[in-house]
Chains A and B, each alone.
Chain A
Amino acid sequence: MKSLKKILSMCLVTAMMCTMAACSSGGNGNQSGGGSGTADTGKSSKDKEKIVISCYLADDSQVAVREKYIDEPLKKAFPDVNIEIKMYNDRQSLQVEVAGGGGPDIMDLDGPTDVAEFAKGSRVLELGDYAEKYGWANLFYDWAYKSCFYNDKLYSLPTSFEGMVMYYNMDVMEKNGWEVPQTEDELVELMKKVKEKDIIPIAFGNSNYQGAVDWLYSTFSSCYAGPKAVKAAMEGNGKYTDAAIKDAFQTMVDWWKNGWIGDKASQSVTNEDMLAFFAEGKAAMMIDGTWASNQLLATYPDCNWDSEMMPAKEGIGPILPFATGGGYAINANSDNPDLAAEVLNYLFTSLDRHYQSIREAGYQPYPLKEFDISKLEGIDEKLNNQYKLLMDAQTNNQIGYCSWTFYPSDMRVYMNENTDALFLELLSVDDYLAKAQTYIDKAITDKTIPVLP
């Protein structure tokens, strides 16, 4: 009996050691996880090279759309490659996987500020050689392409092209006989009238995502301080504490305190509530990104809305804060970086597929020079108008700066965490801007300040 116990315990220990050894030597970090889709044909999976592309969490309908416009075309274009689209429940899972030396070959990251952190950790490849090989510098708009540089090196390619605009609920506007304001003064007058009618002038809520305040301060700094002031601050020729920027932030704070933005309750309202308040007429306007147009069309098809640039400030003119919504980067641990670059190049050069995805599924357009709005025939008129607005702003150099593309990462984190403190009078505009300036100074010293167009 005693020897049986001993044998049993020895077996347990051996089994444990074997299991742990197997765990430590297992795989290259590219094993497929739940919620992933694989596009493969022809050769058996073992014979094929494999490329894993990360993507955001999506529901079944979004996955079906993605399969049609991304998975299937990739499968046709690369029949001898086993391409897997791997969905990540959250950004942390991807970050931890990459930190552990694994992760997908191509990573869909949150944009230049996010990519910069991966670049600091040498977790993404420098794409300079590939850019030269495929001519990427000529493929993208300069502002978008340059935003992907960190420390003078290219680390990602911009995946979408978006901007901050003012949405108007036209039913509310028309019912009350209100005109769409063209200037800041007209907007102020309108907001007073809207408030008198017990309607929220500008819907806003960030209780489920505090960082949504960057939609506001990106808009106010760009449109009411002006892109020149912001650019000067970022380039060290001015300060983020300069009067123009301070006034713009003070305007934002005053509007919030007047109940014009978010009804003085934005910290209790979610992004979804904000959209619902706007769509259902509880609010007359909404400062949101161009991405919200798809949400409005899909969730509130009966909502009669329009979008315009933020009403202009005298002396600055109409400005549209621009951003790239995301960035594709190649994992430094990828076994097939050349193939990954080829796949990326395919995604950005297969324009028929891209136009189709915008027309039929409301995908955001890539910031490509070749992007031709006339090829979006049949698209919803409101969306078409919005794309025209984006293109016109670009052509007329009315470009502003969204923080998630053009601000140093730690500055943006600070501002996202502390803008509510401005609204709630727990922090002064002066202190807030002075602290923000310290991050700019640090980025300039480190030579990691983003490039502003």
Chain B
Amino acid sequence: MSSVKKRHVVPYLFIIPAFIIHVSIVTAPAFSTLVMSLFDWNGMGNAKFIGIKNFKEIFQDSIVKLSIMHNIQWLLIFITVPLILGFTVAIIVSQLGRTQMFFRTVYFIPYIISAAVAGKIWTAYMNPYYGLNQVFDKLGWEGLAKVLWLGNPKIALYSVAFVDNWHWWGFILVLFLGALQQVDSTLYEAARVDGASRFQELLHVSIPGIKQTIAFVLIMTIMWSFLTFDYVYIMTNGGPANSTEIMSTYIYKNAFVKYRAGYANALCVIQSGVCVLLYFLQKYISKKGGMEDE
């Protein structure tokens, strides 16, 4: 074998182990999901080929529509609240000197608490008989004291989203903070020399300086919003009366509670399709908006 050929072969040999693992535990199961979406299967026995019947059912399933709407609501909340909050506080914290590490740690702490623990703790806080409502009652805030945070179908989704936000925004803050510290300080100095105000510095130096991070956070937020599961499952399990049902919890219920694994696979395919669509949409918008390089 010529030395040129050897040079080409060796890198591939190093890649093969990781590639085999990836194909075995990611690609093949993903492909099997696609295949099984065409079957009527209860998750245990023999599967019966039914073509696109599962997909037809999905388009008539009112809970799927409801779940997607909830995912979109979730996405709108997460693409705004934690991003704005994280960015704003990151700007403030980045101005601090010695105390910066303290605040960074404090804000980041919720992120290291497991979703199961945080979900349970907040479920207790939101209990109308011994949670925050009792505090509101003592303070004389009768209106708030009577709110059923997780029991009222009109607000349950927002209550769970609040908890996930509480957990998530500290992470966004740290990402933005890290990115802000990478911005060349001479750019700020130059802006000041040119007479730029603080707001102009933010607009013309800080934001362009961290646009890659903003694009990354946006894309991850969009995808995670559609894949989220933990807090909803722990705090409300999709209830009350499906008011917090999202695609992931509905997929889980179909696969393991209703014994409809074939249908759950079809839902997974739709969910993945929506994520891919949103990914490309975000990429397109980011490029058009100058958030990412062409």
Contacts and interface: CB of A to CB of B under 8 A. Distances in A.
A426 interface: yes
Interface stretch (B81-89, B149-157, B215-223): B149-157
Nearest to A121: B45
Contacts of A282: 129
B285 to A, nearest CB: 36
Interface in B224-245: 236-242
A278 B238 CA distance: 27
Given A12-B14, A121-B46, A123-B44, A210 B127 contact: no
B272 interface: no
A98 B13 contact: no
A214 interface: no
Interface in B1-59: 3, 6, 9-10, 13-14, 16-17, 20-21, 24, 42-46
- Among B44, B236, B257, which residue has the most Cβ atoms of chain A within 10 A? B44
A91 B6 CA distance: 52
Nearest to A211: B257
A370 to B, nearest CB: 34
A426 B43 contact: no
B183 interface: no
A365 to B, nearest CB: 28
B279 interface: no
B148 A268 contact: yes
Contacts of B42: 117, 120-121
A16 B21 contact: yes
B267 to A, nearest CB: 16
A184 interface: no
A59 B44 CA distance: 29
A113 to B, nearest CB: 10
A413 B46 contact: no
Interface stretch (A44-52, A150-158, A235-243, A417-425): A417-425
A13 B17 contact: yes
A118 B123 contact: no
A263 to B, nearest CB: 9
Interface string B134-161: 0000000000000011110100000000
Nearest to B127: A268
Contact of B24 (A20, A277, A421): A20
Contacts of B150: 207, 267-268
Interface in A112-138: 117-118, 120-123
A277 B129 CA distance: 10
A209 B43 CA distance: 23
B90 to A, nearest CB: 35
Nearest to A418: B241
Contacts of B24: 20
A418 B242 CA distance: 8
Interface of A: 2, 5-6, 9-10, 12-13, 15-17, 20, 91-92, 95, 98-99, 117-118, 120-123, 207-210, 265-270, 273, 277, 282, 409-410, 413, 417-418, 420-421, 423-424, 426-427
Interface of B: 3, 6, 9-10, 13-14, 16-17, 20-21, 24, 42-46, 123, 126-129, 148-151, 153, 236-242, 253, 256-259
25 contacts: A5-B14, A10-B13, A13-B17, A17-B20, A20-B24, A98-B44, A118-B44, A120-B42, A120-B44, A120-B45, A121-B44, A123-B45, A208-B123, A210-B238, A267-B151, A267-B239, A268-B126, A268-B148, A268-B150, A268-B151, A410-B258, A413-B258, A420-B239, A426-B241, A427-B241
